A = this chain, B = another copy of it.
Amino acid sequence: MNNNPIGIFDSGIGGLTVVKEILKELPSENIIYLGDTARVPYGTRGKEVITKFALDLANFLLKKKVKFLVVSCNTISSICLDVIEYISPVPVLGVIQPAVDEALKTTRSGVIGVIGTPATIASKIYEKKLKRKNPKLKVKTVSCPLFVPLAEEGLINHAATKLVAKEYLKGFKNNGIDTLILGCTHYPILRSIIQQTVGPKVTLIDSAKPTAKKLNELLEEKNLLRSEEKVRHEFFVTDAPERVYKVADNFFGDHLNGKLKEINLPIA
């Protein structure tokens, strides 16, 4: 069992930012990644569709005999982590709780900002989880739908992205937040513009590292750590036109080049 891979799935290739941290944190683990590039983005869709698509992905990885499921996408983690836990015979980790725990450790002012896709923000999951730990916290949320296409198009330091960021984040200017959760795997790509816009005093929290650390803890706790040195990673996507490779490189680095395998829909 310990030799089995960790399965990581995502609405697209944003989750590669999480994979990168997992490979650093757990260099002896085999991983299988599945990104639904044929149906990305999920963050603007309805709950039933997101759940249906996410179950397709989880079932593909479960058939590959993974020992653990990581949901690297904030939208899926927000909308249907409970459904995935219900159907999964192996443990499941989403990206929301690790980011929430990190934000709770970070804040001094007790006012936390959260940005995410429309589906994530509408789910109110961050407010619920933050306030469950500390009901006195103030939580301010904003959905930023254009950040995903802007990051995917590589407009990382573009004036248009600055204008969009200024508009989305204007409410955070003087509302007391000292911590901002980047509640979408695409947003760290725009970290520099987001930091500029909210000012240097706000700490940005990105779920990738806390999720990798939490996964390490859970594997240890459940005696699931692998110790062999030789590793084998697999990267699957549901659609791989030229642009997906380009964007994947932006999220992961050059090492991924040419390693994406395309699988057909319906996923089975």
The distance in angstroms between the C-alpha atoms of A43 and B167, with both chains bound, is 27
- Closest chain-B Cβ to A167's Cβ sits at a distance in Å of 8
Q: Is A30 in contact with chain B by the CB < 8 A criterion?
A: no
- Can you offer 17 A-B residue contacts whose CB atoms are under 8 A? A38-B45, A39-B39, A45-B239, A46-B239, A46-B241, A48-B239, A49-B265, A118-B243, A119-B241, A145-B149, A146-B149, A146-B160, A148-B149, A158-B163, A159-B163, A160-B160, A160-B161
- Closest chain-B Cβ to A53's Cβ sits at a distance in Å of 8
- Closest chain-B Cβ to A48's Cβ sits at a distance in Å of 8
* Complex interface: chain B residues within 8 A of A239 (CB): 45-46, 48-49
* Complex interface: chain B residues within 8 A of A119 (CB): 241
Q: Is A173 in contact with chain B by the CB < 8 A criterion?
A: no
Given contacts A146-B150, A150-B146, contact A46 B160 (CB under 8 A): no
Q: Is A135 in contact with chain B by the CB < 8 A criterion?
A: no
* Cross-chain contact A52 with B265 (CB below 8 angstroms): yes
Q: Is A258 in contact with chain B by the CB < 8 A criterion?
A: no
Q: Is A137 in contact with chain B by the CB < 8 A criterion?
A: no
Q: Is A266 in contact with chain B by the CB < 8 A criterion?
A: yes
Per-residue contact bits, chain A 60-90, to B (CB 8 Å; 1 contact, 0 not): 0000000000000000000000000000000
Q: Is A23 in contact with chain B by the CB < 8 A criterion?
A: no
Across the interface, A145 reaches (CB within 8 A) one of B48, B153, B160, B167, namely B153
The distance in angstroms between the C-alpha atoms of A20 and B35, with both chains bound, is 36
Q: Is A111 in contact with chain B by the CB < 8 A criterion?
A: no
Query: Whose C-beta in chain B lies nearest to the C-beta of A145?
Result: B153
The distance in angstroms between the C-alpha atoms of A146 and B149, with both chains bound, is 7
Q: Is A238 in contact with chain B by the CB < 8 A criterion?
A: yes
Q: Is A164 in contact with chain B by the CB < 8 A criterion?
A: yes
